[in-house]
Every structure is written in C-alpha cells, then in structure tokens.
Amino acid sequence: MKIDLLVAEIGSTTTVVNAFNGIDSSSPEFVGQGQAPTSVVKGDVTIGLHEAIAQLKDNLNCETLEYGKLLATSSAAGGLKMTVHGLVYDMTAKAAKEAALGAGANIHMVTAGKLRRTDIKKIKETNPNIIMIAGGVDYGEVETAIFNAEIIAGLDLNAPVLYAGNVQNQEEIKLIFEEAGKSELLYIVENVYPKIDLLNVEPARKVIQDIFEEHIVHAPGMEHIREMVSGTIIPTPGAVMEASKLLKSAIGDLITVDVGGATTDIHSVSEGSEEVSRILISPEPVAKRTVEGDLGVYVNMRNIVSLIGFEQLCKAMEMDEVKVQGLIENHVPIPTTDDQIRFVERLTKEAISISAHRHAGGFRTLYGGGGKKTYAEGKDLTSIKYIIGTGGACTRLPNRVELLREITNNFMGDKLLPNKQAQILIDNDYIMASLGVLSKEHETAALLLLKKSLKID
C-alpha cells in the first residue's frame, strides 16, 4: 500500500504513527493509526518508530507500506527542557515564559533579575535543551541581560541560547558569545516585551521550535531520528498549539484541553472580550498554554485523589471505602471495567476543572483614592466559542462531553471562564498533534482533516 504522508508522535512512553492520503487534494483522508512503546531506553527511538509502522501495516491489512514523507512531533527524551531568565517577573520573565510554553517547552526554571549562585547551580543541574535570556523593553534597562549572558556563556553547557530582550543589547550579546567560543549556540530574535504592556511572543516561539528541530537529534535515544524523519519535527505540545491556532483562524476563539497520564495541558487562542480588555491590569498573549504537572490521571492519580478528598470521592462514586481504595491501589493506565472508567472520569473531571481555573484570569477589586475599582488580571476566556477535547481521556471516556462542559459551570463567579453557550468538540480521530505539525507544510489539508475529526463543516 502507498501512503502520501505519515506523522509520528514520539512520546516518552508511546510512539503513535498516523497515516494520511490525498494531502494535496481537496479531500485529504486519515487512513489509520499504529502504535508501539517508545524505545528511548534502547538508545534509538527509530526502533519504536519501526514497530509502530509495523502495527499500522497490520491495522491496514497490508504486507508492504510505502510513504512519501514522514513528519514527527516529540516529547521523548524528556521533551524540550528550558530555563528562562528575564528582568522583572511580571513583565519580561513572564513574556519569555509565555513564548516558551506556547512553543511546547517544559519550563524547568524561571528567574527574574541578575542570576545568583543558587540559580547557576540549578541551571547546571537542570541541563536544559535551550536557555532563554530576556530583559528590558527596547531602549530600556540593559545591564541585567548582559550580566546574565556573560554568566550563561561561561557555563560548561552545550545548550543553545535564545536572546529575546532589549534590542540595544543584541551586538553586545553576540560579542559575549563570540569571545566564549559559542557563537554557533546563540540565536537572536525580536524582544518578547518590546514596550510596556505589549507582548511579542510569536517570533520567539517560532525560533524555539526551529532550535528544537535542529538540536533534538542530539538528545539521548534521538540520534537516529533523522534517518527516518524527512520533514518537520516539533515538540508535541507545540504541535497542539499550532493546530489550535489554525483552527481559531477558521472557526473563532477556542480552548483545547488535553488531560494526560502525567499532566493536563490547556491551550487557549483568544483576544478576549473588549469589556474585559479595558480593565486588564497587564497584557496576555493571544495564544496561551498552561501545563499542570500535578494533574495527571495515571502518574499523578493520588494527587488528584487528595485534591478531591477521599470521603468526597467515595460519595461521588457511590461506593464504600474498601472498593474505592481497591481502585486506587490497582489503578491502570487504560481503564477497562465500568468501575475503573467511572474512577478515571471522576479524576478527569477534577483535572479539567482545576486546570481551567488555573489557566483563566479573574476579577480583582482594588481600593484607591477614587474608591473601589474592579480590574481584570490573567487570561480572559469569556468570549470562547469552542472547547475542544484531545488526548486519551478527553477523546475516549464515555462522558467526555459532560466532563469538558464542567469548564463552563463557574462562568458567573470571579473567574474569566467560558460561558455555557460554548460548544464542545471532540478530536474523535485523536490526531490533533499530528495535524499541528502537518500544518507547517500542508496547512489547507491540516485544517480540513481537523474539521473532519471534530465533525464540523
């Protein structure tokens, strides 16, 4: 059988391969899927990739499989580990963090101001894939970013460094890395915070993904990835963001929810409402991603149980304590029995609710000389039209639509959440991340396939 294009999602534990035909036609088609354990520990992820393709062949009932191109997303080898270093946390450090998260990075450290010895120690221990330096609006403060650049250039690390701070510092930063013999590791991009109350995160996001594609082949177990992948490689969370941004341009403001075994990711793409923007304390990016590392329904299951409360969980499950304790002690990654499914659904409901509250901004009341005034702070989700579920829990659980509807239940509170008119859409084919990387080279086909998976015209 001949396939136009394959997209591999190389995760930390599982590699999934999705097959697509008719990519350059008016009606592209999702053909099928195969999966296998990721083989990072074997020192070569192409082993797992070959095994996933072999399962795809079995699923398609064909002896041979030819394909024109292979693209990939990856969160294997620990994903994209980044440290971010800015000037003021609420300004440049926050802007740099937003750029990194939106590109699909896993942020392991954020600092504001000049690096201290304890910061330097933690950078060394983290051993990041990319280091990002920001700081100062254009033609503003210059010293902090230069100080941090000199420290970072002097470290015995081989990580690429992205400078996204005050434009005045660019030549000085170049000289610092030239003198350190690390010119090839330095990337310079537009300032993420060029003016007060102005975010400019998209240029940095693009370069972060470019750096990832160039350097991911050096991560443990990833050395042979280029032997098979002939097209684009980007971080898996970044691919979901790319798909979300593409979809927003076609159907309107949306959030994408991905409840996983270890984390819950929320991506929102929205300018927010005019009413809220007028009272917003500080700017927010149009495309925002948050990662809740404590809200996973498998690896972090016990943490969610403690957030719910054991007695409340028993009451919600309508089960006695012994039976619920049995579900906890014998928890499985993929539920099969009715009780296991109900248990995971309750965990998922909590993960969705808490992560949405953490992602959304809210109202604040401040008192001044003119009396009491109400302001808004954080991401405004009130004009969201669609709530999209992707990932295993949000695409495969029986009550997935009702679980995602939970996000709208507190619309009239002090949080800037979507209202009850928001429509729930499900990534039925579970291909959103694949279509995000596909959109980098075949945007029209990716959008058509997204709409098919979401069952919208």
Are residues 52 and 110 both part of a single domain?
Answer: no
Q: Of 118-122, 201-205, 219-223, where does mean pLDDT reach its minimum?
A: 219-223
Give pLDDT tens digits for 106-164: 899 999 999 999 999 999 999 998 999 999 999 999 999 999 999 999 999 999 999 99
Number of domains in the chain: 3
With cut-offs at 50, 70 and 90, classify the pLDDT of residue 79: low
Confidence of residue 306 (pLDDT cuts 50, 70, 90): very high
pLDDT for res 45: 81
| pLDDT for res 3 | 94
From CA 182, how far away is CA 184, in angstroms rounded?
5
Is 315 inside any structural domain? no
- Supply the CATH number for residue 87's domain: 3.40.50.261
Q: What is the pLDDT of residue 153?
A: 97
Q: Which residue has the higher pLDDT, 154 or 231?
A: 154
- Pair 60, 208 in one domain: no
Does 382 share its domain with 432?
yes
Q: Does residue 119 lie within any of the structural domains?
A: yes
pLDDT (0 to 100) of residue 316? 93
| pLDDT one-digit tens code per residue, 383-402 | 999 999 998 899 999 999 99
In a domain, 308, yes or no: no
Asked whether residue 35 falls in the same domain as residue 143, the answer is no
Considering the chain, what is the average pLDDT of its residues?
A: 91
> Is 52 a residue whose pLDDT tops 80?
yes
- Residue 337 in domain: no
Whether residue 218 is predicted with pLDDT greater than 90 in this model: the reply is: no
370 & 255 share domain: yes
Say if residue 67 is in the same domain as residue 106. Answer: no
The yes-or-no verdict on residue 23 having pLDDT over 60 is yes
Say if residue 60 is in the same domain as residue 106.
Answer: no
Q: Which of 84-98, 232-246, 423-437 has the highest mean pLDDT?
A: 423-437
Extract long-range pairs of 219-223: CB within 8 Å, 24+ residues apart: 219/76, 219/77, 219/78, 219/129, 220/40, 220/43, 220/77, 221/39, 221/40, 221/41, 221/42, 221/43, 221/44, 221/45, 221/76, 221/77, 222/40, 222/45, 222/74, 222/76, 222/77, 223/43, 223/44
Q: What is the mean pLDDT of residues 12-40?
A: 88
Question: Is residue 426 pLDDT above 80, yes or no?
Answer: yes
Q: Pick from 175, 205, 231: which residue ends a domain?
A: 231
Asked whether residue 253 falls in the same domain as residue 137, the answer is no
Instruction: Choose the final residue of a domain: 183, 215, 247.
Output: 215
Are 294 and 378 members of one domain?
yes
**pLDDT score of 436 more than 70:** yes
- From the list 435, 455, 454, the residue with the least C-alpha distance to 445 is 435
| Any domain includes 305 | no
Same domain for 354 and 445, yes or no, is yes
| Domain match, 106 and 38 both | no
- Report the pLDDT averaged over residues 282-306: 92
Per-residue pLDDT at 90: 84
At 398, which CATH number? 3.30.420
Residue 12, domain extent: 2-77+219-231
State the pTM of this model. 0.88
Long-range contacts of 272-276 (CB under 8 A, 24+ apart): 272/379, 272/380, 272/381, 272/382, 272/383, 272/416, 273/380, 273/382, 273/383, 276/376, 276/380, 276/382, 276/416
Residue 42 lies in a domain: yes
Report the CATH number that the domain containing residue 53 is assigned in CATH.
Answer: 3.30.420.40
**Percentage with pLDDT > 70 across the chain:** 95
Does residue 361 belong to any structural domain of this protein? yes
Q: Which of 170-179, 194-203, 363-372 has the highest mean pLDDT?
A: 170-179
Write down the pLDDT at residue 385. 97
Last residue of a domain, one of 171, 201, 231: 231
- Residues 321-365: tens digit of each pLDDT: 999 999 999 998 889 999 999 999 999 999 999 999 999 999 988
Both 139 and 256 in one domain: the answer is no
Among all chains, which residue has been given the structure tokens 């809200």?
Answer: 295
